[in-house]
Every structure is written in structure tokens, then in C-alpha cells.
Amino acid sequence: MNNGLKKIYIAGFDVFKEDSIAIGKKYVELCKQYGFIGLYPLDNQINTQNKTKKEIAEEIFQANKKMIEQCDIVIANLNPFRGKEADSGTVWECGYAKALNKEVYIYMDNTKEYVEQFKDDEKHLSSNGYVDKNNMIIEDFGHPINLMIACSSTIIQGGFVDVLEHLTKDD
């Protein structure tokens, strides 16, 4: 029984960190302190016995998808992961949640416009605007992240707690 408390799916690349279980427990506890129920992907119990890697991956996918379906809100860490871009799995979770009409909040340390996040030696001006070292146009719509995510979510500069504080101000 959740006593009418909203459920928050906690998305992000934190699940790949060495101390991911402790991070998840901390986030779930923070949700509780702010009056929410936290759902952390690693809370799912996945049976790996006698299964292939692909079968395990499918089970993880289905379990996380079900958590998103059960939540009211997604809070996603979309800081750069393994490069300049956000974790693709987390981006998918945000899109799926939005398609289900869930509230989606993302947090980022750096909310400068995306094109400004490239150092001068990482970009050059072309007839199409700025391009990167591979001559790919750098998106320049005034957002810190791709427009499809920026236009479908609320972006908060800072961290997980900053989003929780934002949510409690709105209530």
C-alpha cells in the first residue's frame, strides 16, 4: 500500500557504478524523506540461473519497463556518460515514460547550451553552423541536450535532490 504517495522511477547510469546498490538505497531513502516512493532499477530481482546473457538482458528490460509503467514520475540523470551524450538506456526510459504520459524530470550538472559544451578545438564553423571533428552538425536550439529530450521533460540544473525539492515546491 502506498498511501497515495507518488512513485518515482529513478533512471540513470548510476546503476553502472561500483557502489550502485548503495546509491539506489540512498535515492530511495531520499524519495521517502520527500514524501515519495522510490523505484530503483536494481531493486528488481532477476533470476540469472541457467539463462543466456540475452535472456537476462530481456528480463532486466521487462522488469524496468514494468517499473516505469507503475510510476507516476521519472527522475533521470542525463549527465554525460562515456562521452558527451547521456546514457542511451536512460534516454529510452525517458521517452517511454513520456509516451505513457508520465512526468519526466531530468537533472544535469551542466545546462549550458549544447553547442557551448564543445571546446573551441572540438568544433568549427561551417555553412550549416557549428560542426564537430567528424563534420557532424552540433545541435543548436538553445538546450543543453537533444531537443527531443529537452522539449519533452523538465530540466533541472543540479542533482537528484534538486529535482525532489522542485517537485515538493510544485505541490
Residue 135 falls inside a structural domain: no
Q: What is the pLDDT of residue 170?
A: 55
> In whole angstroms, what is the distance from residue 22 CA to residue 37 CA?
17
Q: What is the pLDDT of residues 87-121, one digit of tens each?
A: 999 999 999 999 999 999 999 999 999 999 999 99
Residue 54 falls inside a structural domain: yes
- For residue 121, count CB atoms less than 10 angstroms from its CB and return exposed for 0-12, middle for 13-18, buried for 19 or more: exposed
Residue 123 falls inside a structural domain: no
> In whole angstroms, what is the distance from residue 68 CA to residue 9 CA?
6
Q: State which amino acid sits at residue 57.
A: A
- Residue 128 predicted with pLDDT over 60: yes
pLDDT band for position 171 (cuts 50, 70, 90)? low
Per the structure, the count of domains in the chain is 1
How many degrees, rounded to 5, is the angle at CA 169 between CA 167 and CA 171?
75
Q: What is the pLDDT of residues 31-51, one digit of tens each?
A: 999 999 999 999 988 888 999
Residue 131 falls inside a structural domain: no
Q: What is the pLDDT of residue 87?
A: 97
- Residue 4 predicted with pLDDT over 90: no
Query: For the domain that residue 161 is a member of, what is the CATH number?
Result: 3.40.50.450
Residue 128 falls inside a structural domain: no
Q: What is the pLDDT of residue 105?
A: 98
Residues in contact with 72: Cβ distance below 8 Å, sequence separation at least 6, in sequence order: 6, 7, 8, 102, 103
pLDDT band for position 124 (cuts 50, 70, 90)? very high
Residue 126 falls inside a structural domain: no
Handedness of CA 157, 13, 81, 145 (dihedral sign): negative
- Residue 1 predicted with pLDDT over 60: no
Residues spanned by the domain of 85: 7-113+146-170
Q: What is the pLDDT of residues 141-170, one digit of tens each?
A: 999 999 999 999 999 999 999 999 999 995
Nearest CA among 77, 59, 95, 60 for reference residue 17: 77
Residue 129 falls inside a structural domain: no
Residue 49 falls inside a structural domain: yes
Other CB atoms within 10 A of residue 155 CB: 17
Nearest CA among 39, 41, 77 for reference residue 60: 41
